[in-house]
Amino acid sequence: MNKIIDDVADKIFKAHQSKKPIHFIREQYTLDEATSYAIQDEVISRKCADGKDEIAGYKISMTSAETQAIANTYEPAYGTILKSNVKSNNETISLSNLFAPLIEVEMMFILQENFSMGAKETEIIEKTAVAPGIEIPDARYIDWFPNFTLADLLCDNTATGLVALADPIETLSINNITEISVDLIHNNEKIDAGVASAVLGNPIKAVKWLSEKLASKNKQLKKGMIISSGTFTTPIPVKEGVYKAIFSELGEIKVTFQQ
């Protein structure tokens, strides 16, 4: 099994380095969830070797029934956010450094203290600030969306590309969070809208799921980490131009894409 983990991690790591997409992993290997997460861990370990990068947090994926159906699963999945994946408000991003990126609008949780292992809703609210965010999923596969399987997605770090976040505010109550709405604007034209309740009914539930899932792998969410909640909106392929997400209660965030 270790050889399979090494072989698949090597393929994905080389795709990152060469910036050339590869065929889906499922075409050569049949992998269960545990092995797929182990491959993700190995890729992250290689990226962080010799201090070249460091873990900055986690992203939650497949937080709606529609996206879970794509991967034939009944729960979300997580990916690991590295420091190099994190962008700030108003940044310009080069499309030439990405593969086939999408854009999603998400709430970003910033941990103000360490979480207990398997933290519950009350602790999550007490120990986080929240910020408007944009996630830019991006996978290392040819024609990846929406054609992936769960194993493909997990091995490639759940298609983690970039996350951008603006300044945080104190976390709202658990009930208020479900009512947050967002408009997504591209070059001054509204292209989508969403609400927080699209994320497992409440983004806090997604963070609780993540905390429990990581605890089952003896991993802890720690002070300073970022958690990307899962998308309020339908994933949309990125085009050149300016994207702005305007949230009720939270504020707004803007990113610009150019070649």
Does residue 171 or residue 50 have the better pLDDT? Answer: 50
Q: pLDDT-derived band of residue 174, with 50, 70 and 90 as boundaries?
A: confident
pLDDT at 83: 98
Q: Convert the pLDDT of each residue in 66-124 to its tens digit.
A: 777 777 788 999 999 999 999 999 999 999 999 999 999 999 999 999 999 999 999 99
Does residue 204 or residue 172 have the better pLDDT? Answer: 204
Average pLDDT, integer, range 39-49: 97
Strand order across the 241-247 sheet:
91-94, 251-258, 241-247, 181-186, 189-195
pTM over 0.85: yes
* Domains in the chain: ranges and CATH: 2-258 (3.90.850.10)
pLDDT at 1: 62
Cβ partners under 8 Å of residue 104, min gap 6 = 134, 135, 136, 137, 231, 232, 233, 235, 236
pLDDT at 74: 80
CA distance 124 to 221: 11
Tell me what the pLDDT averaged over the chain comes to: 95
Q: pLDDT-derived band of residue 175, with 50, 70 and 90 as boundaries?
A: confident
CA torsion through residues 236, 15, 107, 122, sign: positive
